[in-house]
Amino acid sequence: MPAVCLYFEVHQPFRLNRFSVFSIGERINPAGTYFNHELNEKVFEKVARKCYLPTNQLLLDLIESFNGRLKVSFSITGTFMEYCDAHMPEVMESFRDLVKTGCVDLISETYYHSLASLFDDLTEFEEQVKLHRDTIMSRFGFTPTVFRNTEAIYDNRIAKKVEELGFKGIITEGTEKVLQWRSPNYLYKPVSSGNLKVLLRNYKLSDDVAFRFSSVEWSEFPLTADKFASWVAGSEGDVVNIFMDYETFGEHQWPETGIFEFLRHFPQEVVEKHGLEFVTVGEAVNRFNPVGEIDVPFAISWADTERDVSTWLGNDMQVACFNELKEIGRMVKEKDKPELLKLWRLLQTSDHLYYLSTKGLADGTVHKYFSPYEHPYEGFINYMNILQDLKQRVMSE
Amino acid sequence: MKIAMIGWEYPPFKVGGLGTHCYGLTKALADLDVKIDFFMPKFSSGKPEGSKNLNIKEVGITKVFPYDRPYEEALDDDFFESVYTYNRLCAEKINGCYELVHCHDWLTMQAGIAVKKKLGIPLVLTVHSTEYDRCGGIYPNEWFINIEKTGMENADRIIAVSNFTKRIIVEKYGIPEEKIRVVHNAVSPIGEGKKRKKIVLFLGRLTIQKGPEFFLRAAKRVLEKEDCLFVVAGSGDLLPRLVNLAVKLDIADKVMFTGPLTDEEVKHIYQISSVYVLPSVSEPFGITALEAVSAGTPTIISKTAGVSEVLKNSLVVDFWDVDEMANKIVALLRYKPLHKMLSENAKKEVAFFTWDRTAEKTLEVYNEVV
């Protein structure tokens, strides 16, 4: 019977202010004008009250009552931690309490939840990973051993770099594109790598909770902890990786859907009824051996139905902004201006490009749900105007 | 099915969206084997052509084109007289075996009601605009409102050209929602042309309703950032005021007033423009946005225009927010990927806005009442 690995992504972007062409080049405080602090604070507080605080408390209670047999893993982005500092230190405190139990693993990633791994030069990527690692160390006294790139973006090149940076494991999507007939419930190793192990998200089981939990059209509705645990227990393999946005609890799935009751009862079903064991991502990597290789020459991710990077780079507007970001980066790195470097990095957060996606159909509605813009075209104008302003600032330094 | 339709204008004699609508709709309905007698006033020169299933029948003679809401001073006896005469003549002359009568806007409502009563057939009324749109938020005229209200009350079904218009009919005229159906307009594709210079286009009647003043105020802001030409195409009673405004804003050398254009000229100007702006204060639909898009020109549409409900690949603004309008114009002129994506995606989108589809939906409404 497989072990169960629960991992949650915890992230909030710095959403942008409305920024018109007429603001470009006006010499005003950019940090104040680029980001909509009021909106960001409001969103953060709302999500903290609906999700972060109650879910953390629930997990803490569960971990205590299961005497260490419930284990979970988190990735917490740098921008998220900055939010905690600025608005709600108690959120950070509650994560620290969880980490102190010893049943919680923390995962490494780029500090800004960026797409730096897709730049032709990986220096910036490396710097952001180190920045995140240092921050996790100073906040939690913890050194992550497993890496998850932004939205699980992965290819051979990224895997190689991540191994160079000293990680033992990396997380990505268990997509058929890569696995074909093979199961995501085993560990794999990247083609032509040494010892790095790849953990693959079981997207079917993960999305049963993250997306389908409250969907009345779904034939399995309602999803109970009992039923879900039996599916997990019935899976073949070494480890079932159930990875999702932390905001699933209480935010994407409202409390009324019964998501908290589901979470409350799930560990009991897993441990007591089915006799399965929870593992953290770090333990999974230590305990299990790869059963095969995966070869990923073109980047995959866990986003949208395409499971590639088209979510962020799928249209001309996104590519134009991404190229502009790279261009600004080249200039920023030549100047010794920490405040401009910081702005550039905050603008790299992948959400800014995600909002510009023009994909239709099912995915489009997901994009719309998360977007602060009425339309991706609006998002483009706004983001591009800000990039132009930053570019002018950097050039005039 | 055989129907009587009462219109006011029909190509080549048209001043607004009503003529374009009647043309597209009657042709497509005729293709669906609906037999139509289309009644319209006789103009001094020539007669529009009918086709299979479609007979154009001219009634009486008129000199005025009162599709626009005229200014107070123009509301003289002549104007009322020609509308009354036309409606009276229609009511007298429409005889025979029709399954329903379909009329458009206040100009033809009285005739519609009279024919309904005389022949005992259902009345379908399409609302292309209401007095609340035409007045642009200033002084709605009771006289028009009363005609419109009576027409709506007497209609067995009302076709609104947008949800925006449907809301007005429900909220301002107190008509029950159940009787209203929304059927959006369509467009006959224009085809792309070559864009050489940066041209920003306004095209429409120069009335308060259409918001040309906001266009000029946005132009002033745009010219602080970009060098381009602004074209104001069309005629209307605001023309002198707009010319003065352009001078006052010191942008007269960058604004071109074309006066009325022929159909060919309209197509051409759509094709060579880089951006089309529809800044209407209150626009039931706004067929011109679809025309511009079909010519490959990205559009910026007022939020208070019905077309913004259906054209997803466009930029929307509040008509009064000239800074934001200017922001979006500059963005379209500057950021090529944005221009390209809007142009391509909107073109694909309007390919679904066919008169065949509009006619099918209209026929569904007919079938509800006969």
Q: Does B118 touch chain A (CB under 8 A)?
A: no
List beta partners, residue B100: B3
Q: Looking at beta carbons, which residues of chain B come within 8 Å of A374?
A: 316
Pick B331's closest partner by Cβ from A319, A374, A381: A381
Burial class (CB in 10 A: 0-12, 13-18, 19+), B258: middle
Q: Does B312 touch chain A (CB under 8 A)?
A: yes
Q: Does B316 touch chain A (CB under 8 A)?
A: yes
Minimum CA–CA partner of A378 in chain B: B315
Interface confidence: ipTM more than 0.85 = yes
What mean pLDDT do residues B270-291 have?
95
Q: Which CATH architecture has domain A3-294?
A: Alpha-Beta Barrel (3.20)
Interface A-B: count of C-beta contacts within 8 A: 55
Residues 6+ apart with CB under 8 A from A351: A13, A15, A113, A370
What mean pLDDT do residues B102-125 have?
95
What mean pLDDT do residues B280-299 have?
94
In contact, B3 and B99? CB cutoff 8 Å: yes
Q: What's the pLDDT score for residue B49?
A: 80
- Hey, are the CB atoms on A21 and B338 less than 8 Å from each other? no
Q: What is the pLDDT of residues A103-123, one digit of tens each?
A: 999 999 999 999 999 999 999
Q: Is the predicted pLDDT of residue B51 greater than 80, yes or no?
A: yes
Pick A381's closest partner by Cβ from B312, B327, B336: B327
What mean pLDDT do residues A311-323 have?
96
Distance from CA of A357 to the nearest CA of B (A): 12
Give CA–CA dist A219/A204, Å, rounded: 14
Q: Is the predicted pLDDT of residue A8 greater than 80, yes or no?
A: yes
Interface of B with A in 204-263 (CB under 8 A): 221, 224-225
Q: What is the mean pLDDT of chain A?
A: 94
Q: Looking at beta carbons, which residues of chain A come within 8 Å of B345?
A: 358
Give CA–CA dist A347/A306, Å, rounded: 25
Residues 6+ apart with CB under 8 A from A308: A177, A298, A299, A300, A301
Among the residue ranges A185-194, A354-363, B26-35, the one predicted with the least confidence is A354-363
Chain A: residues touching B (Cβ < 8 Å):
20-22, 315-317, 319-320, 358, 374-375, 377-378, 380-381, 384-385
Interface test with B, best of A17, A18, A19, A21 (most B CBs within 10 A): A21
- Hey, are the CB atoms on A358 and B345 less than 8 Å from each other? yes
Distance from CA of A20 to the nearest CA of B (A): 6
Q: What is the pLDDT of residues A39-78, one digit of tens each?
A: 999 999 999 999 999 999 999 999 999 999 999 999 999 9
Query: In B322-331, which positions are buried (b, 16+ CB within 10 angstroms) versus exposed (e)?
Result: bebbbbbbbb
Give CA–CA dist B190/B328, Å, rounded: 24
Q: Looking at beta carbons, which residues of chain B come within 8 Å of A384?
A: 331, 335, 338
Pick B338's closest partner by Cβ from A21, A374, A381: A381
Q: Is the predicted pLDDT of residue A91 greater than 90, yes or no?
A: yes
Signed CA dihedral, B31, B36, B40, B42: sign only: positive
Q: Identify the band that residue B65 occupies on the pLDDT scale cut at 50, 70 and 90.
A: low
Q: Is the predicted pLDDT of residue A364 greater than 80, yes or no?
A: no
Fold agreement between B2-186+354-369 and B199-350: yes
Q: What's the pLDDT score for residue B272?
A: 96
Q: Is the predicted pLDDT of residue A144 greater than 60, yes or no?
A: yes
Q: Is the predicted pLDDT of residue B64 greater than 60, yes or no?
A: no
Q: In what order do the strands lie in the sheet with A197-201?
A: A146-148, A169-173, A197-201, A187-190, A290-294
Cα dihedral A384/A389/A392/A397 (nearest 10): -130
Annotated domain spans of chain A: 3-294, 310-395
Angle at A346 between CA A206 and CA A300, to 5 degrees: 35
Annotated domain spans of chain B: 2-186+354-369, 199-350
Q: What is the DSSP letter of B30?
A: H
Q: Looking at beta carbons, which residues of chain B come within 8 Å of A378?
A: 315
- Hey, are the CB atoms on A20 and B312 less than 8 Å from each other? no
- Hey, are the CB atoms on A317 and B315 less than 8 Å from each other? no
Q: Does B324 touch chain A (CB under 8 A)?
A: yes
Q: What is the DSSP letter of A48?
A: I
Q: What's the pLDDT score for residue A331?
A: 96
Question: Tokens 């970001």 sit at which residue?
Answer: A325
Interface test with A, best of B223, B275, B338 (most A CBs within 10 A): B338
Distance from CA of B195 to the nearest CA of A (A): 20
Q: Is the predicted pLDDT of residue A27 greater than 90, yes or no?
A: no
What mean pLDDT do residues A224-234 have?
96
Q: Does B326 touch chain A (CB under 8 A)?
A: yes
- For the B2-186+354-369 domain, the top CATH level (class) is alpha beta
Give CA–CA dist A228/A234, Å, rounded: 10
Question: Strands A290-294 and A72-76, how do they pair?
Answer: unpaired
The 3-state secondary structure of A142-189, one letter per residue = CCCCEEECHHHCECHHHHHHHHHCCCCEEEEECCHHHHCCCCCCCEEE
- Hey, are the CB atoms on B338 and A22 less than 8 Å from each other? no
Minimum CA–CA partner of A23 in chain B: B327
Q: Identify the band that residue B43 occupies on the pLDDT scale cut at 50, 70 and 90.
A: low
Give CA–CA dist B331/A16, Å, rounded: 17
Q: What is the pLDDT of residues A209-220, one digit of tens each?
A: 999 999 999 999
- Hey, are the CB atoms on A320 and B323 less than 8 Å from each other? no
Q: What's the pLDDT score for residue A263?
A: 97
Q: What's the pLDDT score for residue A365?
A: 59
Q: Is the predicted pLDDT of residue B9 greater than 90, yes or no?
A: no
Q: Looking at beta carbons, which residues of chain A come within 8 Å of B336?
A: 320
Pick B323's closest partner by Cβ from A20, A317, A375: A20
Q: Which CATH architecture has domain B199-350?
A: 3-Layer(aba) Sandwich (3.40)
The distance of Cα B291 from the centroid of its chain, to the nearest Å, equals 12
Q: Looking at beta carbons, which residues of chain B come within 8 Å of A21?
A: 225, 326-327, 330-331, 334
Q: Does B348 touch chain A (CB under 8 A)?
A: no
- Per the residue annotation, which of A9, A109, A124, A151 is the catalytic one? A151
Q: Does B334 touch chain A (CB under 8 A)?
A: yes
Q: What is the mean pLDDT of chain B?
A: 91
Q: Looking at beta carbons, which residues of chain A come within 8 Å of B331?
A: 21, 380-381, 384-385
Interface test with A, best of B223, B309, B325, B327 (most A CBs within 10 A): B327
Q: Does B342 touch chain A (CB under 8 A)?
A: yes
Q: Is A220 an annotated catalytic residue?
A: no
Q: Does B303 touch chain A (CB under 8 A)?
A: no
Q: Does B341 touch chain A (CB under 8 A)?
A: yes
Task: Please state, for a pLDDT cut of 90, what percent of chain B lies above it.
Answer: 73
Q: Is the predicted pLDDT of residue B30 greater than 70, yes or no?
A: yes
Q: What's the pLDDT score for residue A361?
A: 41
Q: Identify the band that residue A362 occupies on the pLDDT scale cut at 50, 70 and 90.
A: very low
